[in-house]
Amino acid sequence: MEKSEILEFVKHMKAKEHAIVFYSKPEDKHQVLLTFVKEGLERGEAVGYAAGGESPDSLREAMKRFGIDVERYEKSSALIIMKEMYIEGGKGEPSEIIARWKRLYDEAIAKGFKGLRATGETDHFFHSNLVKDLVRYEEALHRELDFPMTALCGYNTEIVANYGRGQLYLDLIKAHRTVIFTGPEAGVVKSY
């Protein structure tokens, strides 16, 4: 599959869709996740980005290089970049994380945005040794979301491989409706 097909897929994700992308290179992560972000912003949606593998400032610079007017979108509250979205008080409680996303969704709708796209990196779970909480969170989100947010979850394959071997990959894949692979085996796999 061509990378352009992956990018077209993430551009056209709809409300309630919950997909996962596995990447090994920062440039692949940026290309896929920032395409998702930029498309949402251009459609009048708000976007929440949970930074994890890089700092919010580094992420802002990457977004600027990608052609996203970060200052304008942050000023209008269309773009919210968060350093700590998943872990609070040393815990990654799934119901609390989902409640935070739901609050962001409700705020976006109240401000007149057409919806909320949620994305980010999950590195904090691994660095905090909360991998079980991560799997519980992904399972709690369900393969299709309970509220009309669109979610694209980013996973660094090198980190995942160090923590759970094959079983962790299987658990993460089962929690999502669509799986995206970048790199030489690039492709989108949809399950129903």
Query: What pLDDT, on a 0 to 100 scale, did the predictor assign at position 59?
Result: 95
Contact 73, 126 (CB under 8 A): no
Output DSSP code: residue 24.
Answer: S
Sheet containing 178-181, strands listed edge to edge, beginning at the edge strand earlier in sequence = 79-82, 46-50, 116-121, 149-156, 18-23, 178-181, 187-190
Q: Per mean pLDDT, which of 45-54, 81-90, 107-116, 157-166 is the most reliable?
A: 107-116
Position with higher pLDDT, 101 vs 185: 101
Query: What pLDDT, on a 0 to 100 scale, did the predictor assign at position 187?
Result: 64
CATH 3.90.79.10 for domain 3-190, yes or no, is: no
CA distance between the termini of the chain? 20
Calpha distance 11→41 (Å, rounded): 11
Query: What pLDDT, on a 0 to 100 scale, did the predictor assign at position 76?
Result: 97
Mean pLDDT value across residues 43-60? 94
Output DSSP code: residue 183.
Answer: G
Query: What pLDDT, on a 0 to 100 scale, did the predictor assign at position 145?
Result: 81
Q: Which residue's structure tokens are 């290089």?
A: 65
Mean pLDDT value across residues 27-38? 96
Phi and psi angles of residue 146, each rounded to the nearest 5 degrees, phi first = -80, -20
Query: What pLDDT, on a 0 to 100 scale, did the predictor assign at position 172?
Result: 93
> Where along the chain do its domains lie?
3-190
Report pLDDT digits (tens) over 132-167: 999 999 999 876 688 899 999 999 999 998 886 688
Query: What pLDDT, on a 0 to 100 scale, did the predictor assign at position 52?
Result: 86
Calpha distance 58→79 (Å, rounded): 15
Query: What pLDDT, on a 0 to 100 scale, did the predictor assign at position 143?
Result: 67
Dihedral class, residue 67 (left if φ above 0, else alpha if ψ from -120 to 50, else beta): left
pTM score: 0.93
Report pLDDT digits (tens) over 71-104: 999 999 999 999 888 888 888 899 999 999 999 9
Mean pLDDT value across residues 47-56? 92
Calpha distance 108→54 (Å, rounded): 25
CA dihedral 7, 5, 113, 46 (to 10 degrees): -20
Calpha distance 182→89 (Å, rounded): 33
